[in-house]
Amino acid sequence: MSGMITEELKAKAEYYYGDEKCQEKSKFLLQEVGLPRGLLPLKDIIECGYVEETGFVWLKQKKKIEHCFEKIGKLVSYAPEITAFVEKGKIKKLTGVKTKELLLWVTLNEISLDEPHNEKLVCKTSAGLFRTFPASAFELQEDLNKKEQEQQQPPISN
């Protein structure tokens, strides 16, 4: 797996070290492609990188973590190394992310927004199975708070 991130690849990439910088960059990238910023709740990120020309992304964290998305009651496992290709509204060829379905861990390989509404995330496995969840379940709390405040503001009229 970790053979994918070669020095050759790094030569074409924008990459960073350290948890704080990588948290900031990974959330920014998710936002740029229109996905919820809470989709990759990693801890202790050591390194992250992005190759703009291909959309290839990698994230390395100190150890595997599990995160429960409370709103949908889903337990997700994130490996020490995660790789993917990102594009507008979609994460493809995802590695290192599994979700618990009944008693089994299932590997996810694609996450995308439903077109045209972009209110749901479709999570697919390599076997072609998929589940749909509200995109809001993966939002950061601060982003949800901001959206709520914006909706409560009366429109400015001239």
The string of pLDDT tens digits covering residues 123-143 is 999 888 899 999 999 998 888
DSSP 111: E
Mean of pLDDT over the chain? 91
3-state secondary structure of 34: coil
Q: Report which of residues 155 and 74 the model is more confident about.
A: 74
Segment holding 17, helix H or strand E: strand 14-17
Secondary structure E strands in 23-144: 45-51, 56-61, 65-69, 74-87, 90-101, 104-113, 120-125, 130-134
Pairing assessment for the beta strands 14-17 and 45-51 based on DSSP bridges: antiparallel
Q: How far apart are CA 46 and CA 60, in angstroms?
A: 6
CA 54, CA 35: separation in Å to the nearest integer?
Answer: 18
**Both tokens assigned to 149:** 């405040």
- Split at pLDDT 50, 70, 90, the class of 158 is low
For the chain, domain boundaries = 2-149
Kindly report which listed range (8-12, 41-45, 47-51) carries the lowest average pLDDT score. Answer: 8-12
Does the pLDDT of residue 1 top 50, yes or no?
A: no
> For the whole model, what pTM was predicted?
0.87
Cα angle for residues 75, 91, 133 (degrees, 5° grid): 45
How much is the pLDDT for 3? Answer: 63
Q: Which residue has the tokens 């970790």?
A: 2
Question: Six-digit token pair at 54?
Answer: 């291909």
pLDDT of residue 147: 80
pLDDT of residue 143: 84
**For 2-149, which CATH class?**
mainly beta
